[in-house]
Amino acid sequence: MSETLKLTEQLIARQSLTPKDEDCLNIIGNRLEKIGFKLEFVRCGDVDNLWARRGNSGPLLCFAGHTDVVPTGPLDKWVSDPFTPTIRDGMLYGRGAADMKASLAAFVTSIEKFVARHPQHNGSIALLLTSDEEGVAVDGTVRVVELLQKRGEKIDYCVVGEPTAVSKTGDTIKNGRRGSLSGKLTVKGIQGHIAYPHLVKNPIHLASPAIAELAATEWDKGNEYFPPTSWQISNIHGGTGATNVVPGTVEILFNFRFSTASTVDGLKQKVHAILDKHDLQYDLDWELSGKPYLTPRGNLSDAMSAAIKQATGITTELSTTGGTSDGRFIADICPQVVEMGPVNATIHKLNECVAVADLDTLSEVYFLTMENLLAKN
């Protein structure tokens, strides 16, 4: 059994339902400390974070990830216990197997191998780990980033271990993510009896033309790395439940997934302009849960692409699809952030799993990336 498999199984066995860490950081930290890492545990609220660093010089290459996992769902729908790592037909099953305990284990074993071969390597290596990525993500990576900012500690390269592969580990690197901007729109009318339309103002009717225009608006054209920005309604609620009452308000929840071709302020201004154009009385509350980030082709993506080619023979693709990740926080102090991990087909699902053969492949890719960036010539 490989070291990466053993450590992955050890981590899966910890029931680290977000925001609980359940000692995963200590398991990882104990191994890192043995090879010269200085550990800094950062507790924020109910969240455990770890900043571990080996070396004091630049460039600094950081591996980032999370120990927390999403809830299991109905246990009777799992073929085996989600916190008892089980191998069947070459697949390792367990909650967090793909998202992202395999990557955490591969981080550790690749670093152990690299330090053993290059004890006097160039620059520094760090890990930024949290137990608050799958939840609200307010006391996790963002807090460690704030701490590093206050100290003036910057990261040159960051590899986030999110599961990025479509069909085979190594086929996709994420070099950016779209931002997420949500709005809670309340359009006001006048409630009354449905039989007296001259005495009421139906907010659903009033809002409909504005909704149609918002849905038809081209917010931007995207760019080389991102598709055009998308605006979607997720919920609409209006009415008292009675069939003979016009409601006084209608509530609309919507979300932008936006690219670097747009700005937060620009999107807000366009929405307000459309609503005002239709003479609506409304309240609109905004929530920004993530800014977009983009890492153009450069040293890090080239180093990892070459590592993937050497380890797997695959010519990887750069992509910005998918939801948000903690890369959005790290991008504030790091100019080059990429995400690369195992196949994402089963993440958050029942019977989550990862191919056993991919574990050592993943570790090798991380190891070769370090060799490409930090090994002395």
Helix axes 356-374, 299-312, angle to 10 degrees: 140
318: which 2 tokens?
């750069």
Q: pTM value?
A: 0.88
Tell me which H or E stretch contains 115. Answer: helix 102-117
CB-based contact 365:101 (threshold 8 Å)? no
Residue-level pLDDT at 319: 93
Q: What is the mean pLDDT of residues 167-192?
A: 96
From 133, 162, 339, 352, active-site residue:
133
CB-based contact 74:82 (threshold 8 Å)? no
pLDDT digits (tens, 9 = 90+) for 79-92: 999 999 999 999 99
How many whole angstroms separate alpha carbon 306 and alpha carbon 313?
Answer: 9
Q: What is the mean pLDDT of residues 21-44?
A: 98
- Helix residue ranges per DSSP H, 237-355: 264-277, 299-312, 327-330
How many whole angstroms separate alpha carbon 369 and alpha carbon 372?
Answer: 5
Residue-level pLDDT at 346: 97
Residue-level pLDDT at 202: 98
Name the residue with tokens 């359009």. Answer: 187
Query: Could you tell me how many residues make up the chain?
Result: 377
Q: What is the CA angle 192-197-203, rounded to 5?
A: 65
266: which 2 tokens?
């620009």
How many whole angstroms separate alpha carbon 23 and alpha carbon 16?
Answer: 8
Query: By three-state DSSP, how is residue 243 classified?
Result: coil
pLDDT digits (tens, 9 = 90+) for 302-330: 999 999 999 999 999 999 988 788 999 99
The 3-state secondary structure of 63-118, one letter per residue: EEEECCECCCCCHHHCCCCCCCCEEECCEEECCCHHHHHHHHHHHHHHHHHHHHHC
Reply yes or no on whether 68 is catalytic. yes
How many whole angstroms separate alpha carbon 268 and alpha carbon 286?
Answer: 8
Q: What is the mean pLDDT of residues 144-154?
A: 96
From 21, 48, 68, 364, active-site residue:
68
Residue-level pLDDT at 308: 98
198 Cβ contact list (under 8 Å, min separation 6): none
Percentage of the chain modeled with pLDDT above 90: 94
Mean pLDDT of the chain: 96
10 Cβ contact list (under 8 Å, min separation 6): 27, 105
CB-based contact 334:156 (threshold 8 Å)? yes
pLDDT digits (tens, 9 = 90+) for 252-284: 999 999 999 999 999 999 999 999 999 999 999
CB-based contact 231:193 (threshold 8 Å)? no
Reply yes or no on whether 213 is catalytic. no
Q: What is the mean pLDDT of residues 196-213?
A: 97
